[in-house]
Copies of this chain bind each other. A is one copy, B any other.
Amino acid sequence: MEPDRQKFLAYLAGQGLKSTRQRDIIFDAFRSDGSHVSTEDLYLKIRRDHPGIGYATVHRTLKLFTECGLAEERHFGDGQVRYEWVAGKEHHDHLVCVRCGAVSEFEDEDIEALQQRIARRYGFTMTSHRHELYGVCSSCGGED
């Protein structure tokens, strides 16, 4: 079995939670497109093939993915939480196009190191960070 699915099942078992048909379906749908989707996005996508699955279940399952570390919540400032499948991906930050909403990912070791230095300077034990660049992407005419 794929390690990601295994991780999820292990988390469920460890918490005394159950494996269900709905969770399997949501797992597959989210893994196949876990690129910064909102609960609504995923719900609508799943509904096409599985009209019986409710919004609340999608919501709760995305929370589960987050709790077990397969997914992370993203807040890009439009008042909607987005979920990103992060299993098997390196840490990264985001570029968000303010016109079309496209999200790209970047990583930069130098910035990470500088962040740590700053946290240390302020006596912080850094647990996480958020770093987003907003602008106009090249296809939206970033050159104009």
Do A133 and B138 touch across chains, with their CB atoms under 8 A apart? no
Residues of B within 8 A of A77 (CB): 75, 130
Residues of B within 8 A of A29 (CB): none
Do A125 and B142 touch across chains, with their CB atoms under 8 A apart? yes
What 9 additional pairs, Cβ within 8 angstroms, besides A125-B135, A130-B134? A77-B130, A95-B119, A97-B124, A106-B121, A106-B122, A110-B114, A124-B133, A130-B130, A131-B132
Do A122 and B104 touch across chains, with their CB atoms under 8 A apart? yes
Q: Which residues of A come within 8 Å of B, CB atoms?
A: 75, 77, 95, 97-98, 104, 106, 108, 110-111, 114-115, 118-119, 121-138, 142-143
Distance of A135 Cα from B123 Cα, bound (Å)? 10
Residues of B within 8 A of A115 (CB): 111, 133
* A128-B134, A130-B77, A136-B125 known; A118 vs B106 contact (CB < 8 Å): yes
Do B131 and A131 touch across chains, with their CB atoms under 8 A apart? yes
Chain B minimum-CB-distance residue to A114: B111
Residues of B within 8 A of A106 (CB): 118, 121-122
Chain B minimum-CB-distance residue to A104: B122
